[in-house]
Structure 1
Amino acid sequence: MKGTALESPPKSSDRSLRTMRRCLLAAAFLLLILTPLLNYYAGITFIQGWYQSLGIGELRLISPLEGLESILVSRQIYVPVLIGMLAPLVLAALLGRVFCSWVCPISFLAEAVATLRAWIMRKKRFHDRLVLGKRLLWYALVGELLLSLVLGAPLFVFLSPPGLVGRELMLAVYSHRLAWEGILVVGIVVLELLTRRFYCRYFCPLGALLALVGAKRRLVVAHRPDRCTGCARCAQACPLGLRPELGETRTAYCWNCGTCIESCPDRALQFTWQTSTLPLSNEIGNKD
């Protein structure tokens, strides 16, 4: 058997994906809040930093983009940096851009805004008002790296919105103030009122790098055409504006959030561990 499809779970399990994702996002955000508090007030330093550079005991995790920037700008290869980048890169290669959808603090804030918006508007469906070309994501990555080289400084290290969340929380605890760079995070949250994941879709260079690494990922959302009735609810639910019924969940753009799986009333979508390059829709559609 070339591909192993996870058994179709009951609909309650499908809905639990959203609960699991939100719980993990909340836990990851809570970690950013608790870390500086424990460091500063309790002297507990087992966990230090934030998701740009996170230390857990002797283990150091480094954001792949920030690490790549540092190497390109300094024109030197630091073995500790490479080791720190290894775990996030392996995770992306196997599971895709899951950091963006299951861990990133920007996603947590976006989920919170989406929940608040749905509660205020009393609408289950949301129509994006700002839609741009998907390829902007790749231009953002290339442009950010080129600009860092021109400036001679790792730009994303200082202006990474996911990193800014952790840095602002650290400043608030240690210095009782906020930095002006935090306005970027405010702008991203405001844009979420108009278009879902505007920054994540088009302008996040870290997301682009993780998407590139995870282009041939093993975990994918597979589509079962034999079960699909063409209701398009999955496309309406996708926060990145993808069309699962056209196989776009297997492209580099998909970040495996599982929202389309939750929304499908026909259970025509499911997470699948891909072990070959054969079309997944054909593989799964032929096994019952």
Structure 2
Amino acid sequence: MLAARVTIEDGLCLLLDVDDIDRFLQFNQLQDGGIQLKRRRQALLEGLATSLQLVDPLGNNGHTVGSVPKDCLVFLRLVSLPKGRKLLAKYLELLFPGGELMRIVCMAIFRHLRFLFGTLPSDSRTAEISNILARVVSSCVRGMDLGALSACLAAVVCSSEQPPLRPLGSPAGDGASLILNSVLERATELLTDPHAASNYNMTNRALWQASFDEFFGLLTKYCVNKYDSIMQSRLMEASPNVPVIGADTAISFSREMPVELLRASLPHTDEHQRQMLLDFTQRSMPIGASNSRDGGNGTHMNSESVLS
């Protein structure tokens, strides 16, 4: 880990140089408009990507190429340390919004959502660093175009790691869900805003839908498995003649199911996917449940809580 710590310190020094360039450009007017310094700035940022051994997994046409890194060992060693996550967050904040370099860095993050956000550290300071990183990535996503969003969502689906799809506010950590929710909401914004339509073509639209369809399959599979797990636990604990899907089970669903992700997915679903989601939410409703809240302890995961 010594090499990782040295790389982190070198990276932080490099970002200080970038900060210096930004301040100089802010307070000085140069005859060439600062072109040389801007080139120097970009070279420094690209150099850090090289140090992290991050490569662009997409070809020039936006399709995946064969040399996609499977392990990203250097990257994972760095972000396993709190200071490495601080470096990553600062790096993202200095990248050009919506640029290719930001997409490359974000794709590495999306490939490793479980590694980064699977477990919330017990140390409050370290946990806050992870939360800051999640918020920074979420902010970056909100400046992406549809092509970059498609690539990031595809990185999740193609990853060997199952992302932690928890509800927002989960005490176990919700960093991954916060980021994915931002992806879905940003895509909805782009696809429903008539002024944004000129920023993507039919190919990008098709790539987004293909990425989303794969992600939706992953999301619904997770929800079904979580449902089965909760029901199995309740069946083992249930007393005779007591409905298994009761108020306590509904509370368990609301604590475990990523309702926000399901809701954010709705604008991108087709009729079949929407019906599948409706069938699932109706199946998980408590017997005799109404649309009211369960004694103030949380909302039932019913069709109204998702399909609204």
Smaller-chain TM-score bracket: under 0.3
Name the TM-score, length of structure 1 as normaliser. Answer: 0.26
Higher gyration radius (CA): 2
Q: Greater strand share, 1 or 2?
A: 1
Q: Which structure's relative contact order is higher, taking Cα pairs within 8 Å and 6+ residues apart?
A: 1
